[in-house]
Amino acid sequence: MKITIIGTGYVGLVTGACLAELGNDVFCLDVDQKKIDLLNNGGIPIHEPGLEEVVARNRAAGRIQFSTDVAASVAHGEVQFIAVGTPPDEDGSADLQYVLAAARNIGKHMTGFKVIVDKSTVPVGTGDRVKAALQEELTKRGADAGFSVVSNPEFLKEGAAVEDFMRPDRIVIGHDSTAEGQQAAALMKKLYAPFNRNHERTFWMDVRSAEFTKYAANAMLATRISFMNELANLADRVGVDIEAVRHGIGSDPRIGHSFLYAGAGYGGSCFPKDVQALERTARQYEQDLLILRAVEAVNDKQKLVLGRKVVQRFGADLAGKHFAIWGLAFKPNTDDMREAPARMLVRQLLDAGATVAVYDPVAMAEAQRVLALDLNAEELARVRFAASAMDTLDGAEALVIVTEWKAFRAPDFDKIKASLKQAVIFDGRNLFEPDVMSQAGFEYHGIGRSI
């Protein structure tokens, strides 16, 4: 099938590459000329395992192209995916300006029937707004081409995006019951048929329910994390190991093991903004989502927990003290630092007067860009961007681990001990066992592990 993807970011590029891999003829549009030039020169704008190979293979086969040409993009696809950003507005609601601009562009140029697919995460009712914006453009130029707006939210995780897209747990498609809506559903069914070969994974519903399902999923996952973080903080006080508790409750199939890891707080481009946007939707309907407000508040506090533990141990004045930080990306296997807990930790330690040496296996360039925005020149001068994990350690009072990269899971502890000024580790992702660490001669501070 001929597919257009509007917005070649994380979701757009992965969707485009994976649909091309299945044999479709994909046109990826973006307004960012630099991004398109990079892709056309064989580069990849994000770090995502496996993506580079899929893009290269399909580019070579002529199944995927990258362009900023709006008219050509509209002419290309019978299905037009909107995968642009929906960042938080000042009041926390989703900013729909990019989604609506994409819809208008389609309305300005389309001639025949098109299926418009909202893949971006958008609040309930956005399907109607996309329809109205597009229709307005058609009316302006006296055109009457048919179209239907479908909701097909994306559930991929960064760091596992290609795998998640290719092997989805479920595909959610919301469409309306008009003749055009049925025609759109038939096209979506054909497009997603390769994913449903062994068993049917698609859930068909109305557009508003599909839009809501996406927020409900992210809000539920964020709730589990904040719940575990809150329990972990109590565990620290009452002498309980939150990891034992995690196993103990996760084995109940009604609870399950996933997303029960206490840690340094959730970050990334989605949980923080989607929890806020759902709260905002509720407020528009005069409802107060008490649980979600708490989820957000607990997470904001949790991002400060590691820094607080350091201050408790070394004092509020950290002037003249140096710390090593491992892991800057908001999670492993990505270079994304949006809302990353490491940014809060760096801020806290610098505010207390410390100097830091930081390292991440892939996010170093992004860290330099982002920390240059977060910090002033004097603060930035107190940050050293190290060449390796071991290179952070010399002269540091302690090592602080923020992201659970595989490369940090079995380090050379003797070398760490020999390099640090004091054998102290703050582990924001509970990578190690407290008793093993103590036998190895370390003072070990995990999250919820003060047993």
| 156 binding ligand NAD? (CB under 6 A) | yes
379 in a known ligand binding site: no
User: How many Å apart are CA 114 and CA 98, to the nearest integer?
Assistant: 19
Nearer to ligand NAD, 128 or 412 (CB): 128
For residue 73, CA distances in Å to 4, 106, 115 come to: 6, 9, 13
Q: Are 305 and 265 in contact (CB under 8 A)?
A: yes
Residue 115: beta bridge partners?
79, 148
Nearer to ligand NAD, 188 or 242 (CB): 188
User: Which span (1-9, 376-384, 403-411, 417-425) binds ligand NAD, by CB under 6 A?
Assistant: 1-9
Question: Concatenated DSSP letters for 142-207?
Answer: T----EEEEE------TTSHHHHHHS-S-EEEE--SSHHHHHHHHHHHHHHGGGGSSS--EEEE-H
Residue 9 binds which one of ligand NAD, ligand UGA, none, with CB within 5 to 8 A depending on kind? Answer: ligand NAD
**Considering only residues 113, 204, 227, 259, which one is a binding residue for ligand UGA as defined by CB under 6 A?**
259
**Considering only residues 1, 22, 25, 32, which one is a binding residue for ligand NAD as defined by CB under 6 A?**
32
**Considering only residues 18, 99, 130, 156, which one is a binding residue for ligand UGA as defined by CB under 6 A?**
156
Q: Is the dihedral of CA 368, 371, 376, 382 positive or negative?
A: negative
Nearest to residue 262, comparing CAs of 274, 244, 282?
A: 244
User: How many Å apart are CA 196 and CA 204, to the nearest integer?
Assistant: 13
28 tagged catalytic: no
Minimum distance, C-beta of residue 431 to ligand UGA, in the bound complex (Å): 12
Minimum distance, C-beta of residue 367 to ligand UGA, in the bound complex (Å): 15
227 in a known ligand binding site: no
Write the binding mask 71 to 100 for ligand NAD: x where contact by CB under 6 A, - elsewhere. ------------xxxx-----------x--
Question: Concatenated DSSP letters for 425-436?
Answer: EEETT--S-HHH
**Considering only residues 113, 155, 204, 385, which one is a binding residue for ligand UGA as defined by CB under 6 A?**
155
User: How many Å apart are CA 213 and CA 123, to the nearest integer?
Assistant: 10
- 256-275 binders of ligand NAD (CB under 6 A): 269-270
Pseudo-torsion of CA 121, 127, 131, 132, nearest 10°?
Answer: -100
Residues 6 or more apart whose Cβ sits within 8 Å of residue 56: 42
| 16 binding ligand NAD? (CB under 6 A) | no
| 101 binding ligand NAD? (CB under 6 A) | yes
Residue 85 binds which one of ligand NAD, ligand UGA, none, with CB within 5 to 8 A depending on kind? Answer: ligand NAD
For residue 287, CA distances in Å to 217, 226, 291 come to: 19, 21, 12
Q: Are 44 and 119 in contact (CB under 8 A)?
A: no
Nearer to ligand UGA, 261 or 314 (CB): 261
Nearest to residue 118, comparing CAs of 132, 108, 131, 105?
A: 131
| 347 binding ligand UGA? (CB under 6 A) | no
Residue 134: beta bridge partners?
none
User: How many Å apart are CA 63 and CA 165, to the nearest integer?
Assistant: 18
Minimum distance, C-beta of residue 56 to ligand NAD, in the bound complex (Å): 19
Q: Residues of 231-252 as b/e, b for ≥16 C-beta within 10 angstroms?
A: bbbebbeeebbbbebbeeeeee
**Considering only residues 4, 8, 126, 392, which one is a binding residue for ligand NAD as defined by CB under 6 A?**
8
| 9 binding ligand NAD? (CB under 6 A) | yes
User: Which span (4-12, 282-290, 297-305, 345-353) binds ligand NAD, by CB under 6 A?
Assistant: 4-12
Q: Are 122 and 211 in contact (CB under 8 A)?
A: yes
- 157-176 binders of ligand UGA (CB under 6 A): 157-158
**Considering only residues 21, 118, 158, 241, which one is a binding residue for ligand NAD as defined by CB under 6 A?**
158
114 in a known ligand binding site: no
Nearer to ligand NAD, 156 or 383 (CB): 156
* Residue 94 DSSP class: B
Minimum distance, C-beta of residue 218 to ligand NAD, in the bound complex (Å): 8
Nearer to ligand NAD, 121 or 148 (CB): 121
Residue 110 binds which one of ligand NAD, ligand UGA, none, with CB within 5 to 8 A depending on kind? Answer: none
Given 270, 324, 349, 356, the catalytic residue: 270
Q: 66 — phi, psi (to 5°)? A: -125, 135
Residues that bind ligand NAD (CB under 6 A): 6-12, 29-32, 35, 83-86, 98, 101-102, 120-121, 154, 156, 158, 269-270
Residues that bind ligand UGA (CB under 6 A): 121, 154-158, 218, 221, 225, 259-261, 263, 266-268, 270-271, 330-331
Q: Which residues are annotated as a binding site for NAD(+)?
A: 30, 35, 86, 121, 158, 273, 338
Active site residues: 270
